Structure 1
């Protein structure tokens, strides 16, 4: 399936990680190479409120690995991902009363954090753990994204405390990569590979440490902005869900965006604005729904291809075959086998 229809295409994030990668790798990989096939342009990096899909970000990561040939790239980038890169979330964390409150703030706003993992904070005696599980994206980028996640969390904790921090240990749920020695060199702590989950472990006493830049007024106002941004992002996802659900239930009658907007009792302008903010389009949503329905009909029924094309509102069977091959990389008949 093409990137336009994978699950990671439907999850959105900000540009901060890509902007960092392009900036840090400028000497070894030109911007055009890093952004190749991602659908992004150099000018997009100067648009701080632009949202991109995880698929676009993953494409940039893959390009970066290919062009730098640096197996420890995730470690390198994560150690440079400072708390200020997270915008209003980062500044609100800096103004939080304690490290515990700052981390809890980030964990309840994963959309603003832009992580590929489900994060949690655990305490076991005198050890605290930032646990990262649930990665389900590009498997070839598992190591890079795990390194990036845990080392960026370490960088954030150090920024919040205003001091260098040597973790107690790093737990990783994969076997030692070829660059395994780089973990000790860059992090200065023991690394345990083949663990049951990924975790950054440090002294639990640090959680109650008052942050040097704590400011209750700034923190309060920042929290309100975080809630507002989170609501806007979730509202955008809700709108996309409503459109998808409507198309799935009325695929035979699916028409223009204007028609769908009327059926949803919204203005076409409002829907178009939501779609642009979520970095997608009406045609892309329609393709997603058609592709999901096509796979269902091909695998669960014996309907001829031409009847499936009709159900998906294609005027010609050839048009459906072409579209399905673009989505999946194979013809409908081959997919059915």
Structure 2
């Protein structure tokens, strides 16, 4: 197992996007096992609605999908199939919102439930509204795919909310025109500005204050309460992980077991284990992540000999540290230091 180099790739999300992708591509004849290969996920996982997965796992499924289909416009195709119902309680709350503006504001207020890789904002300029996507920090080779998936799924959501096939005014994309540029015109029917300052879906601002056909204030209020509860559970889980990581970082020499960490955090080991399972991780994985981060820091920023670094990380034998570092990074500590 090579651990993620980017801490943000350890962020968690829901299953809805890859569940849809796997379902759609399976119908097209792509085997599920090929789509899930090396992701650590099984077909049974996709049938567990409340399961959380890491962004790294989701990115692996996306990379597999592109490799299997050889379709450069896959992001566009999948985004156009990401209907609002795929977002669970958030989607139903959006459908019950009073106006499109209210629905989009609700979604932007709960990015964890939306499951986006971008920081989304709603901007207005005269008679044009823009859903702007910035801050992408993940796999660079999937930039085009994830940008297309994000913007076209937002278009699909807007169409679902309004109950009509509205066309965007234009699409703004920060990258150069790809070889499949014609697919934008074929699938979206709008102009595309490549090399723009940011990614944006542009549409008629008058749509924002249109009342939604399925608006229902009681349902919307109930849905909002559920969204807040789901958000709190997700954030609570992240907080627990961060507490464990911070504790381990300060006590690596004594980090012998989950029971010992639980006692020092004044929690029960059973409660911590349940949190870790819900967040799709384990005590050993967290320990490995913290040790790996610390090891890289000591190897690159100090001249400490390898055996002393091993001691600081809580290893009784240098050979055990060397073996672990090779498993995490694919390199020996000495080679990494060079």
For the pair 1:79 / 2:104, whether they are aligned, the reply is no
CA distance in 2, matches of 1:3, 1:60: 17
Shift of 1:3: 4.2
Matches within 5 A, 1:149-160: 149-160=150-161
Q: State the Cα distance separating 1:327 from its structure 2 match.
A: 1.3
Give yes or no for contact 2:98–2:211 (8 Å, CA) kept in 1: yes
| Contact 2:34/2:64 (8 A) holds in 1 | yes
**Who is 2:182 aligned against?**
181
User: Which stretches in structure 2 are left out of the alignment for 5+ residues?
Assistant: none
Please give the secondary structure, in 1, of the residue aligned with 2:290. helix
Shift of 1:188: 0.4
Q: CA deviation at 1:64?
A: 0.4
Deviation at 1:251, TM superposition (A): 1.0
**In the alignment, which residue of structure 1 is the partner of 2:141?**
140
Give distance in 2, aligned partners of 1:275 and 1:234.
13
Counterpart of 1:251 in structure 2 is 252
Report if the CA contact (8 A) 1:161-1:212 is conserved: yes
In the alignment, what sits opposite 1:25?
A: 25
Q: How does 1:93-104 map to 2 (within 5 A)?
A: 93-104=94-105
CA distance in 1, matches of 2:7, 2:57: 12
**SS of residue matched to 1:137:** coil
Check 1:40–1:8 CA distance in 2 against 1; reply closer, same or farther (3 A cut).
farther
Give runs of aligned pairs for residues 159-170 of structure 1, distance below 5 A: 159-170=160-171
Structure 2 counterparts to residues 109-258 of structure 1, below 5 A: 109-258=110-259
Alpha-carbon distance change, 61 to 270 in structure 1, aligned in 2, over 3 angstroms = same
Counterparts of 1:308 and 1:203, CA distance in 2: 59
Structure 1 residue 82: Cα displacement: 0.1
Q: Taking structure 2 as the reference length, what is the TM-score of the superposition?
A: 0.98
2:10 paired residue number: 10
**Could you give the per-residue CA deviations for residues 74-126 of structure 1, whole angstroms, max 9, x where no partner exists?**
00000000000000000000000000000000001000000000000000000
Q: Partner residue of 1:52? A: 53
CA RMSD of aligned residues (A): 1.0
Per-residue deviation, residues 117-144 of structure 1 (Å, max 9, x unmatched): 0000000000000000100100000000
CA shift digits 1:163-219 (9 cap, x unpaired): 001100000000011101100110000000000000000000000000000000000
Task: Structure 1: state its 5+ residue gaps.
Answer: none
Contact map agreement 1:94 1:213 (CA 8 A) in 2: yes
Runs of 4 or more above 4 Å deviation: none
Aligned residues, how many?
337
CA–CA distance in 2 between the matches of 1:2 and 1:130? 36
C-alpha distance in structure 2 between counterparts of 1:57 and 1:152, whole Å? 16
Alpha-carbon distance, 1:4 to partner: 4.7
